[in-house]
């Protein structure tokens, strides 16, 4: 009987195994293979080293900087909002959360293209500004536009986990802190903030990682002038047809992400941050 149960369970796991092997493990192995070989198929570290050329290092640094700034802005925008939301009645707050999540249901590319149109030199924003005789906004094709795009695209990923964790905090805990003499600032610093750390970590991860590797946002809002590490890798694959160099740099980027995850996991005892 028990054996049969186990067989059935194994059978049910089948599709997932096929998925994992076919779409996760094999592609990863291929990246490793390409990253660690040259065009003739000989083992080499040269692809990994490609990241150290001055222009590639600059792209990596810029990508790190912009994704870091975007993450911080998302956090600053999302946290107070979630604080307010978590104190509202459930129907009300879930409606507002829905409004913030709604853009996520539209195509990501479409939203970024929309920003391109809005920000263009002769775009809608500048037409409106011109109408009021205000100076034109010239941020398209600058890092600022990229940050704007990142924040806009990834903000929901910051809002959701923080809102979840804040709304799960027992209201009695806050009452207890007040009861024991803490004022609202002390209550926030000693109770609410520490208890929301898993949500913050989750949100930071979900914003930082896609922002670090994006090439679409920098492509559309940064023109072709600003190259992030994502763009460099994309160009290696598409224009240069150099799968080996692209894979090599992907591997380096992966190491960066794994390293930051490990750093985060150190501070995340509940393991909620690894949800991504």
Partner 1 sequence: MSNKLIDIVNVSKSYGENLVLNDLNLYIRENEFLTLLGPSGCGKTTLLRILGGFESPNTGKVIFDGIDITELAPNKRQLNTVFQKYALFPNMTIADNIAFGLKIKGKSKSYIEDKIRYALKLVNLDGFDLRMPDSLSGGQQQRIAIARAIVNEPKVLLLDEPLGALDLKLRQDMQYELIRLKNELGITFVYVTHDQEEALTMSDTIVVMNQGNIQQIGTPEDIYNEPQNAFVADFIGESNIFSAIMVEDKLVKIQGVKFPCVDTGFGKNKPVDAVIRPEDVDLVKPKKGLMQGIVTSLIFKGVHYEMDVMANGYEWLVHSTDMFPVGTEVGIKVDPFDIQIMKKPESEDAEAVSIEE
| Residues at the contact surface with partner 1, assessed by CB under 8 A | 170, 172-173, 175-183, 186, 190-191, 194-195
Q: How far is the CB of 183 from partner 1 (least distance, A)?
A: 6
Q: How far is the CB of 177 from partner 1 (least distance, A)?
A: 7
CB 276, CB 205: distance < 8 Å: yes
Q: How far is the CB of 268 from partner 1 (least distance, A)?
A: 13
Between CA 34 and CA 85 the distance in angstroms is 47
- CB neighbours of residue 224 within 10 Å: 10
> Which of 252, 271, 251 has the alpha carbon at shortest distance from 261?
271
Q: How far is the CB of 200 from partner 1 (least distance, A)?
A: 13
Report DSSP letters for the chain, one per residue. Answer: -HHHHHHHHHHHHHHHHHHIIIIIIHHHHHHHHHHTB-TTS-B-SHHHHGGGSHHHHHHHHHHHHHHHHHHHHHHHHHHHHHHHHHTS-HHHHHHHHHHHHGGGGS-HHHHHHHHHHHHSTTSHHHHHHHHTTPPPP--TTSHHHHHHHHHHHHHHHHHHHHHHHHHHS-HHHHHHHHHTT--HHHHIIIIIHHHTHHHHHHHHHHHHHHHHH--HHHHHHSTTT---HHHHHHHHHHTS--HHHHHHHHHHHHHHHHHHHHHHHHH-SSS-GGG-
Nearer to partner 1, 107 or 183 (CB): 183
Nearer to partner 1, 202 or 213 (CB): 202
Nearer to partner 1, 109 or 173 (CB): 173
Q: How far is the CB of 173 from partner 1 (least distance, A)?
A: 5
Nearer to partner 1, 55 or 172 (CB): 172
Nearer to partner 1, 29 or 176 (CB): 176
Between CA 99 and CA 114 the distance in angstroms is 18
> Which of 201, 115, 202 has the alpha carbon at shortest distance from 152?
115
Q: How far is the CB of 185 from partner 1 (least distance, A)?
A: 11
Q: How far is the CB of 176 from partner 1 (least distance, A)?
A: 4
Nearer to partner 1, 49 or 182 (CB): 182
Nearer to partner 1, 40 or 170 (CB): 170
Q: How far is the CB of 270 from partner 1 (least distance, A)?
A: 10
Nearer to partner 1, 138 or 270 (CB): 270
């Amino acid at each position: 009987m028990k054996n049969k149960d186990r067989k059935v369970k194994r059978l049910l796991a089948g599709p997932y195994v096929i998925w994992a092997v076919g779409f996760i493990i094999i592609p990863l192995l291929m990246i490793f293979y390409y990253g660690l070989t040259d065009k003739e198929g000989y083992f080499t570290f040269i692809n990994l080293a490609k990241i150290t050329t001055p222009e590639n290092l600059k792209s990596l640094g810029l990508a790190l900087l912009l994704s870091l700034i975007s993450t911080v802005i998302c956090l600053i925008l999302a946290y107070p909002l979630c604080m307010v939301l978590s104190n509202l009645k459930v129907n009300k707050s879930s409606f507002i959360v829905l409004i913030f999540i709604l853009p996520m249901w539209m195509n990501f590319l479409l939203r970024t293209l929309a920003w391109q149109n809005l920000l263009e030199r002769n775009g809608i924003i500048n037409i409106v500004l011109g109408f009021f005789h205000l100076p034109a906004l010239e941020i398209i094709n600058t890092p600022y536009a990229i940050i704007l795009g990142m924040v806009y695209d990834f903000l929901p990923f910051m809002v959701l986990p923080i809102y979840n964790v804040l709304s799960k905090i027992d209201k009695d805990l806050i009452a207890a802190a007040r009861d024991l003499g803490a004022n609202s600032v002390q209550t926030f610093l000693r109770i609410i903030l520490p208890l929301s750390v898993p949500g913050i970590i989750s949100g930071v991860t979900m914003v930082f990682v896609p922002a670090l590797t994006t090439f679409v946002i920098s492509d559309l809002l940064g023109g072709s002038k600003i190259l992030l590490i994502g763009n460099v890798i994309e160009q290696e694959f598409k224009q240069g047809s150099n799968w080996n160099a692209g894979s090599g740099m992907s591997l380096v980027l992966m190491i960066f992400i794994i390293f930051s995850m490990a750093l985060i996991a150190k501070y995340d005892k509940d393991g909620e941050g690894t949800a991504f």
